[in-house]
Each structure stands twice: as structure tokens, then as C-alpha cells.
Chains A and B, each alone.
Chain A
Amino acid sequence: MFLAWQEIKRNKLRFILITGILMLVSYLVFFLSGLATGLASLNREAVDKWEASAIILTDDSDKSLYQSFMSVDLLKEINAEKTAVIGQLNAIASNKDKKQNIALFGINKEEFLMPNVIEGRAFENANEVIANDSLKDEGFNLGDQLSLSSSDQTLTIVGFTDDARFNAAPVLYANLSTYHQVKFGEMADQNKDQINGIVIQDDSILNLSLNDELETIEIESFIENLPGYTEQKLTLNFMIYFLFGISSIILAIFLYVLTVQKISMFGVMKAQGISSSYLSWSVVAQTLILAFIGTAVGFIITLISGTFLPAAVPVSFDLTLMIIYGLILMVVATAGAVFSVLTIVRIDPLKAIGG
């Protein structure tokens, strides 16, 4: 550590440049992880809000809530701790000034899918809805009358809840009869037993016996099958994993070049009896110091720049994940020192004194 730190102190500019590159890579990693978390939240936060174990959909719906149709009577066949029915449709809501993609959830008020209300009140009557508060940023307010693209029904916002987006669309919560009115219009009465799925809060979900037309899907699996969710997540994660590799390679090249420049010096030191392990540890320690400083600065800059981003940017920083990524960056950066260590081990002290 002594040798490593003394060299950094003496050659500040050189090491600031290396640390700067690491800082930029870590900034990119942290920012991408924030973007991945933010985009994932856009898709799943309404589902996370259920705190459910599983959802029952029809087998032929291919795990899509929107494509699943079943009768509410099936609820009687399900023996689980807690159940809640859900009807869902997508539409474009307009308050005359603004238009916005929304997901409408038809639920029973007394079941656990009922969201917390942070402003206004819960729905009580037909055509009343609780909206996700992100709609406020889009110009929607309490009392707004919403017309829907696929229906002649008009909905009224009576309350707001938080963290309720489904597949990137803000959710409107209404009672089941409102959902039926919106979905089926004049045919609502004939379809009043129709729902899209049944959500379950029961850890022993695998023990549920269902008929062949239904499928129990664990919530995580349901989320992964949301349209575009897995593809988006994989793309961003691949970018992060590539950045891990790139940071390791960049540091390996820099350290190798620095080590090659010092071969003669290391040779003399080895001739003097300083062991290869001491010199190798010095390079590894130097890498750790650089990686720690670069990652820490990248971490801080990410958090600072996050505060200046407009609300429209879907970034959400998961500190635990960022710390894990930071540690991985330090590990892969240290792995980049392996070539330098091998070089040091192979240095022949004989050559250093011209033998």
C-alpha cells in the first residue's frame, strides 16, 4: 500500500486521468442501473403495490392480464388465504386539455387491491376513479371529468394514489361495475360477471387446484411477461455487464502500460530482495485505491445529477443495487490488474543489473 500510495501522490495527473475514466464508467453504470430500475418501476409498481403471491389467468391468455377473461364465479373454486378480482383495460383518457394513456383497474373496494388514497377520497359511486398521482404532473386534477377513447362513459377523478403505474401507464382504479360499463357499454349487464383475473395473497399458491383452463402464475413471472418488460431489462442489464467488462479492460491496459514502464525499476527492487508478492500487492492495492475513488466519485455525481433530472426521465436509484454494482466494478477493475501482476512475477532481476 505504501508504494502504491506514494506513486499516486507523486504522479497525480496520470492517476487522476485513470480515476477519471473509471469515474465516468461508474457514472454510466450507476445511471443505467437507475434507468433500468426506473423503467422497471414504470412497468411494475402497480403490481408491486398488490403485495400478491400470484395471479390466476386463463391458460390461453399467455400470461397477459388484458387477454384473460373469466367468470367471477370461479372465485368460489379457489381456496386461498386472500383473493381479489381484477378487470383491466387500456385506454386514452382526456380531460379536454390533456390526453394520456391509462390502465383502468376494476376492483372490489373491500378487497386488498384497493389502493391507499393520498389526496381526495376513495371511489364510492359509479364512474368515480382514484388516479395515480403522476397524472397531476400531466395536467390532471381532482374533479376532472375524463372521457375515454374506447367508451362513451365519463369518469371523475375523486382521489389520487401514489406508485401506481402498470406497463408504463398510470392506473385509474374504479369499482367493477364502472369497469364493466367502460368495457362493455350497453352489454355491461350481460357481462357483469366478467373479470380478467384473480389476484392471490397466499404463500402456498402451488397447492391450489384449478381446472385446466386456468393457470396460476407467480407474480414475478407475471411481471416478466408484461409486454416489453424483460426485453427492456435485458437490454439495460447487458449494457451494464458490458461496462463491467470494458472498465476491467481499460484499467488492465492502463496498469499494464504503467507496469511495463516500471519493469526495470521492479527488476532492481527484486534484485534487492523485495519479493514479487510485495510488488504485486502494491499494484493490486493501487488498483483498489483508483477503483474505490473512481467509483465513489461516480456514485456521488450520479446522486447529485439525479436531483437535477426532470420528472419525465424515468430514473430511480436503488442504493443497495448501486452499492452492489460499485463493489462489482471494484472487483472487475482489480481483475484488470492480473496482467500486471503476471508481468511482475515474470520480471528477471538479473536483467535489471545487466547480467
Chain B
Amino acid sequence: MTVLELHQVKMSFGSGNKTVHALKETNFLANQGELIAIIGPSGSGKSTFLTIVGGLLSPTSGKVVINGQNLTALNEKERSQIRLKEIGFVLQASNLVPFLSVANQLNLLDKVKKGNMSKKERDQLYEDLGIADLLMKYPSDLSGGQRQRVAIAKALYSNPSIILADEPTASLDSERAYEVMELLKEVTTQKKTTTIVVTHDIRLVDYCDKVYKMTDGVLTEIEKDKKSPQIAGEYSHLS
């Protein structure tokens, strides 16, 4: 089942001679249960792609459809509601609120989302992500890997259909980075979400079902069987 569709999406900044085409005409489909990596160097347009998919930025032209709903036709308030219900974000360093305990990070979402998840479901989520024994701790008490686990728990709160992860392993050592990717793979399969990971860490692409590379605003899919060697060749300078 197709969860996310991009049709002829373009994004430009500036005007006249100073126009920067951050995203050239892009068509993209993502299905339920897929873990997709978008790789590319800094400034290639990865983040622009992610912010458009996340409804934080309206494209210059084209159409973004999430679960049949045309995101580009909605106003900011409606897009905010879509973000709240349909999209979970996992960000680079950590998107945790520093003064909230792990339990309260999710309690906050529970208050904002008006109790979309029962206590039983929440406890199950804590167990699945291995954070059940961290509930009373604060972000400053957690390791980088633990923080990203909690961030993923937040992203998964109320079962979003899409998880957007922006460099989720950037601040982690290799071992923790693999752990986080395994976790993302696991939740994508189990929860049947569509997970899009923007990264320039090519070591992580083995966990993904599809890999796209972004070069100067052009998104190209890399064949699954060839992805690692091909990427390893093209992006060796990034690893």
C-alpha cells in the first residue's frame, strides 16, 4: 500500500539569476513497511526533501500525498495536524525536551494528542524499545543511544504511518548507530510504518529496503542488490 507519493515536486529558493533549485522535478513513492535511505553529501537537497515530505515546507510546484491526502493543498494548521497524527520525527542529535523525564516525554505527546495510546500500548512501546527501565531518567542521564531510543519511541507514539529520521545516527559511535538502525528496521517491520532515513553514513544502507541518492537536487534510486558496492564507490569520501 502506498503511503507517500511525490508527484513532480520542485523546490527553488530565491529568484532571477540567484535562483537555487534545491530539489529538481522529483517523483517518489513509498509503501507501508518500507525502510528507505536517502543518501547524499551536505547541500545536495536531502533536508529539503525531508522538510517537504514532513509538511514543514511547501514545494514550489508539484504534489505531496500522504495516505491519499494532498499535503500541498492544506494550510499550516492542517499540515500541523497531519504532522501530529501521521508523521514521527527522529532528529540528528536528540529531539528530547531536556526538563522532562523519559515517561513525561511521552506524557506530553499524550496530552497534545489527546490520549491516542492506551497505557497498555505505551508500556508495550517501552518494552519494545528497551526503555522501560529508563522512564524516570532525564535526557542528561542517558547515553546517546538511549536518547535516540526514546526519540524513536516519541516518533512512534500513536502509531504514525511515516517516520522521518534526519541523520539519526550522526552523534553515535558505530555500535550505537547499528543498534539504532536495527531498531528502526524492527519498528518499520513490526509497526508497518514507512521509515525514511536521511543520512550520509553509507554503513547504514544495508538495513534499508530501498536506497536513493540525492545529487544536486536530483533524486535517483539505486538498485537494491548493487547498493552497497555502488554507494561505497561513489560516496567513499563520506564514510
Contact = CB atoms under 8 A, between A and B. Distances in A.
A11 B100 CA distance: 11
Residues of B contacting A: mostly:
helix
A273 B84 contact: yes
Count chain A CB atoms within 10 A of each CB in B98, B109, B112 and give the residue with the most.
Answer: B112
Given A6-B99, A265-B98, A278-B112, A273 B80 contact: yes
Contact of B107 (A2, A268, A278): A2
Given A6-B104, A272-B89, A353 B99 contact: no
A353 B138 contact: no
Contacts of A11: 99
A7 B138 CA distance: 12
Contact of B108 (A3, A9, A352): A3
A272 B100 contact: no
A6 B102 CA distance: 12
B222 interface: no
A336 interface: no
Given A354-B92, A355-B56, A272 B84 contact: yes
A327 interface: no
A353 B91 contact: yes
Contacts of B84: 272-274
Interface residues of A, number: 23
A271 B54 contact: yes
Interface in B54-74: 54, 56-57
A270 B95 CA distance: 11
B236 interface: no
Given A11-B99, A355-B50, A273 B57 contact: no
Residues of A contacting B: mostly:
helix
A9 B57 CA distance: 35
Interface string B42-58: 00000110110010110
Q: How large is the interface on B (under 10, 10 to 19, 20 to 34, 35 or more residues)?
A: 20 to 34
Interface string A113-149: 0000000000000000000000000000000000000
B18 interface: no
B2 interface: no
A268 B138 contact: no
Nearest to B87: A273
B97 interface: yes
A349 interface: yes
A65 to B, nearest CB: 64
A353 B108 contact: no
Contacts of A270: 80
Contact of B97 (A269, A275, A349): A269
B47 A268 contact: no
A96 interface: no
Contacts of B104: 2, 6
A6 B104 CA distance: 9
Contacts of B97: 3, 265, 269
Contacts of A349: 56
Contact of A271 (B48, B56, B98): B56
B166 interface: yes
Contacts of B88: 272
A350 interface: yes
Contacts of B81: 273
B119 interface: no
Count chain B CB atoms within 10 A of each CB in A3, A275, A352, A355 and give the residue with the most.
Answer: A355
Interface string B126-164: 000000000000100000000000000010000000000
Contacts of A350: 51, 56-57
A76 interface: no
B89 A271 contact: yes
B56 A273 contact: no
Contacts of A268: 89, 91, 95
Given A10-B138, A353-B89, A354-B92, A274 B112 contact: yes
Interface string A265-295: 1001111111100100000000000000000
Contacts of B57: 350, 355
Contacts of A7: 99
Nearest to B42: A354
A268 to B, nearest CB: 4
A353 B50 contact: yes
A274 B158 CA distance: 14
Interface string A6-26: 110111000000000000000
Nearest to B154: A272
Interface of B: 47-48, 50-51, 54, 56-57, 77, 80-85, 87-89, 91-92, 95, 97-100, 104, 107-109, 111-112, 138, 154, 166
The 7 A-B pairs at the shortest CB distance, nearest first, are namely A273-B84, A273-B83, A10-B99, A355-B51, A268-B95, A7-B99, A350-B56
Interface of A: 2-3, 6-7, 9-11, 265, 268-275, 278, 349-350, 352-355
9 contacts: A3-B108, A273-B82, A350-B51, A353-B47, A353-B51, A353-B92, A354-B166, A355-B48, A355-B50
